[in-house]
Structure 1
Amino acid sequence: MSAGEEETRSLETMECLGPQCASMLLEWLRARTAEVEQSPSRESRPVALRQGLLWTAAPYSEESPVISSEAEFAGALEHLRYAVFRRFANQLTRAERTRLDNTIENTLFKIDRYLDRTDPALRQRLAPEVADVRQAIRDGRETFEKLRTQARRAELKLAQLTSLSPESFEEFVAELFEALGYQVEQTGGSGDEGADLRLRRKDVLAIVQCKY
């Protein structure tokens, strides 16, 4: 069949309706299928499948007395990170704080034992990750103690509110905002133009004037 005849047939195929159109389309599909079977392209050849793992960490078990592999170590580290986040970034009951403190201490104990038993090269590679988590624990405890101290001081000043001086009242208000998570700068004094406190928390900026 010449190119002209092929083009004419294609046009006829596009314009045909009913059973004739379906028959011609079926014939064309059969021809294309035969061509593919006779000369398979690279894309049509089956691709060898390869099995992989989505996670490299093994599940961590608090009941297990030891960490026995690097995969279990990775699982323990993830478990520890989440426990630290839960402990210091949430409002918890005393029982929940105690449970998470125990989880953190027990997991750190098993991580340290694993690092002590492993070869020096692996220990050197894994140690920085553990150091980062330990720093997060120290930072969390420091922030927690700071907030608890501020809360106690605020309660004491609240009980003495009627006898506070204007300066002590500004300190009291500043500590309240610090307990709410703000960074506070006290600017009270002569020439403050009414701005006693400057507050910042993330993208929030605010000015506070204390009236006492």
Structure 2
Amino acid sequence: MQRNSSKLRRSTGLLFDIWLVTHLTTNLLDEALRDLGVTADEFGLYSLLHELGPSTPTQIARWTGMAPTTVSGMARRLIAREHVTQMPNPRDARSRLLGLTNEGQRVTNAGGARLAATMPRLLDALAPHTSTARLGLRRLDHALRLVVGAAKRPDEPLPGETGQVADGGSVSYAGTPLNEAQQQEVQQFIRWIIHRDASPGDHG
């Protein structure tokens, strides 16, 4: 019996580790966001819309790996909550965009502040392995996307890819040097343009 258990761990250990980390992370986020009445999964969608701007349900499903029915159900819940709104897609009249309302943006900012307050405890517990842990997670994310057929991450490139945008392009700039916050804002806008234009025939 013990030999079978060891064999199972060797063959599925990575997936079991991912399962454990997923639930531990969800518990941490749910607790931090509890007073806002937002779950970890919901806040993930708020954050995505905050970063990338209005997106179609189909795009959200591709980026997150969530089933389209899951995205639709969550969207209905958040629209009823008046944190998310639907709007016409100027690039495709057959689809709709989901975007944050002013109240949704307020909740996103408030949630971000709560998570920022939680981060020092996590970073202290993780030190001195923060950078290597994040790089490992990004590579794991990349591998999982390949396996399940999800779209590329719509956010920043892997560490070490400074100057590149998410889909491999680059932009030159010869003006006054930007500070770190300004660089991040420019990168965010570039990524939004790329993913806005990536699927002109995207429906959903």
TM-score between both structures, scaled by the size of structure 1: 0.23
Q: Which has the larger radius of gyration?
A: 1
TM-score between both structures, scaled by the size of structure 2: 0.24
Q: Point out which structure has higher relative CO (alpha carbons under 8 A, 6+ apart).
A: 2
